[in-house]
Structure formats: C-alpha cells, structure tokens
Amino acid sequence: MALVIGVTGSIASGKSTVCQAIVELGGVHGNADTLVHQLYAPGTPGFARVVAEFGPEVVGPDGSINRRVLGSKVFGNPEAMRRLTRAMGDITGLIRRTIEEWRATLPSDQPAVMEAVNLIEPGYAAWCDQVWLVACSLDTARARLAARNNLSPEEIEKRLASQRDWRLRAPAVDFVLHNDGSTEALRAAVRAELARIIALHRAGALPPSNYHRWRAEHANQGVARATGTAQS
C-alpha cells in the first residue's frame, strides 16, 4: 500500500511548500481544505446550512461561498468555528475515504500526502503512516501573510491568534520541519526525510507513527481524570 504522510502546521508555516516538494518526488497530494470545499459547494446541503448559519453575506458574486468573508466570521472564534464544522457535514468521512482510496489504488512505494491545518486534533492522523509538522516563528508567519494574502495587521493577528502553538502538537508527530530559513533548505530536509522513510517502508521496518502513542496517552489521561486517579 502507499506510504501516507500527514502534513500539518499553522497558517503560513510552509505546509504547501513541503507538499509540493513531495509531489515533485513522485507523491500524490490531497489538501483537506480543498476537499472540504466540496461539502459546501453551491447546490449542496452543506451550502444551504452554511448560509443559514452565517447569513447571505457569505455568498460571493459568483454564487459560491466567499471564504474570506466566512473566515472573518470564524477565525479567532472557537464557537463560530464549531458551528461551521457542523454546518459543512461529514468532514471526517471525506478525508478517510480519500486516504483509503490512495491505499487501494497507489503503488506500495508511492508516497501520498494529506495536508491539513487540523490533522491531529480531529484524528485524521490515525490513518497516516507518518505525521509531519511544519513550524515557523510568528514574525515569519506575519511577514508571509502580509506578502501573500494582502491582509491588514488586524486580520493577520486575528488569524495567528486562532492557531495552535506548534509545541503543543510536536509530541504527536514523527518529524518537525522548522521553516524560518530558505525554501531550498526546507526542500532539502524534505528530500532527506522522505528518502529515509521510503527505505524503511519498502523494508517493512517503518515504525508506527508517534501519533498513536500520543493518542493512547491522552486517552489514559482522560480516564484518569474521570476516575479521580490522576497524579498531582
């Protein structure tokens, strides 16, 4: 079966650059955000639910959801983000079906990469062989958002405030790429790590992802809290 890599990280960290480098080395790429857009395309039940939840002003001139307007309503607002997630529909099923199709159809030595801002928290990482985390400093992210997204300083800070600190995710991943340097340095790190894990995968020696250990530890902690046995 294909080698499935999950790539996560905060906004402007460089996830897409990492995924592009994997594609250039023969990989297949899926973007969770792009896949999710299918759930609220015009004419779908998800479209109707999103408009009902957030108002007709989120519909752009072309009749589709204006994601910038929608984003302004949900970034930095966890309750609004939860309402959006409910309105869109079965995100989990869509991501899982995509990964299962890769495993069923791609050659065993071909990498496939699922890119998602939220890969760990909703559990999508459970279906990946490896989980990579791309991280950068807040100053680097600010500069990238200003250059590529044409956002105001207020909009930039709002988006950054909605992101999780990379250090909270690091225990659940297998490889952290720090992306405050050059694009070539990032690509070189991708090439080296991909070659390493492909060799292990071909030999049947690739260990299970750290995500599974992290999830089990968190589940055990939850049980301990519920039963009053957690250590102080």
Give yes or no for residue 14 having a pLDDT over 60: yes
What stretch of H or E contains 139?
helix 138-149
pLDDT of residue 55 exceeding 70: yes
- Eight-state DSSP code of residue 135: E
Q: In this predicted model, what pLDDT tens digit does every residue of 133-184 receive, in sequence order?
A: 999 999 999 999 998 888 889 989 988 988 899 999 999 999 999 999 999 9
Q: What does the pLDDT average to over 109-114?
A: 95
78-88 and 45-54 are packed helices; what angle lies between their axes, rounded to 10 degrees?
A: 150
Q: What is the pTM of this model?
A: 0.86
At 117, the amino acid letter reads V
Q: How far apart are CA 51 and CA 40, in angstroms?
A: 9
CA 152 to chain centre: 24
Q: In the chain, what are the domains?
A: 3-38+93-220 (3.40.50.300)
Higher confidence at residue 226 or residue 176? 176
Average pLDDT over every residue of 31-49: 95
Question: Could you read off the pLDDT of 59-83 as tens digits, one per residue?
Answer: 999 999 999 899 889 988 889 999 9
CA neighbor of 115 nearest in space, from 102, 137, 134, 97: 134
| Confidence grade of residue 230 (pLDDT, cut at 50, 70, 90) | very low
